[in-house]
Amino acid sequence: MTKPLWAPWRLEYIKQADELDGCVFCEEAAGTLPESESLLVHRGDAAVVILNKYPYSSGHLMVAPRRHVGSFAGLADQEALEIHRLAVVALDALDATYGPQGFNLGWNLGHIAGAGIADHVHLHLVPRWSGDTNFMPVIADVKVLPEHLLETRNRLRDAWPTG
């Protein structure tokens, strides 16, 4: 059996998320965040790929529709298709950049399921390595070092295919 990932800082995040102003997905989709704060990896026509600021593991990405929609069933066909296709490219970029041994993909619907931002649906892409559950306390340091996140963002942008 594979042990579930334990990422205690996410509890703090989920507690705070309700009090945050605005929606990070909408901000990244609109491009209103400064480069020093943006975790955008790719902006598509109908969806965006952004790095998770409170990752379960290094390179933890999220793919979300550009439209602020909270219902999984409410995704338009074009949004669902683009989210799927961007996820395929994102897995390639993560493979090329970090070479993880596997991935967990999933939708967290509702706060009880771990969704930090429950009213803008998003697909999680979580790279996995053998033994990463034990490695989590080390990775946890990444969250307090924003430059690491920006470096990861830049590496994934570089790995993203153009054209």
Positions annotated as catalytic residues are 122
122 interacts with Zn ion by CB under 5 A: no
For residue 28, give every residue at least 6 positions away whose Cβ sits within 8 Å of its Cβ, in sequence order, or none.
38, 39, 40, 43, 48, 50
> Could you tell me which stretch among 14-22, 23-31, 70-78, 137-145 binds Zn ion (CB under 5 A)?
23-31
- On whether the CB atoms of residues 97 and 156 are closer than 8 A, the answer is yes
84 interacts with Zn ion by CB under 5 A: no
What are the helix (H) ranges across 53-145? 77-98, 132-139
What are the helix (H) ranges across the chain? 9-17, 24-30, 77-98, 132-139, 146-159
In the three-class reduction of DSSP (H, G, I as helix; E, B as strand; rest coil), residue 7 is classed as coil
120 interacts with Zn ion by CB under 5 A: yes
Tell me whether residue 73 or residue 144 sits nearer to Zn ion (CB atom): 73
- On whether the CB atoms of residues 39 and 50 are closer than 8 A, the answer is yes
Q: How far apart are CA 5 and CA 107, in angstroms?
A: 15
CB of 100 to Zn ion, least distance (A): 28
CA distances from 43 to 50, 64, 130, 131 (A): 9, 10, 31, 32
Tell me whether residue 25 or residue 103 sits nearer to Zn ion (CB atom): 25
CB of 64 to Zn ion, least distance (A): 8
23 interacts with Zn ion by CB under 5 A: yes
Tell me whether residue 25 or residue 54 sits nearer to Zn ion (CB atom): 25
75 interacts with Zn ion by CB under 5 A: no
Name the residue with the smallest CB distance to Zn ion.
23
> Could you tell me which stretch among 25-33, 48-56, 72-80, 128-136 binds Zn ion (CB under 5 A)?
25-33
CB of 46 to Zn ion, least distance (A): 14
Q: Residue numbers of the site for Zn ion (CB under 5 A)?
A: 23, 25-26, 68, 120
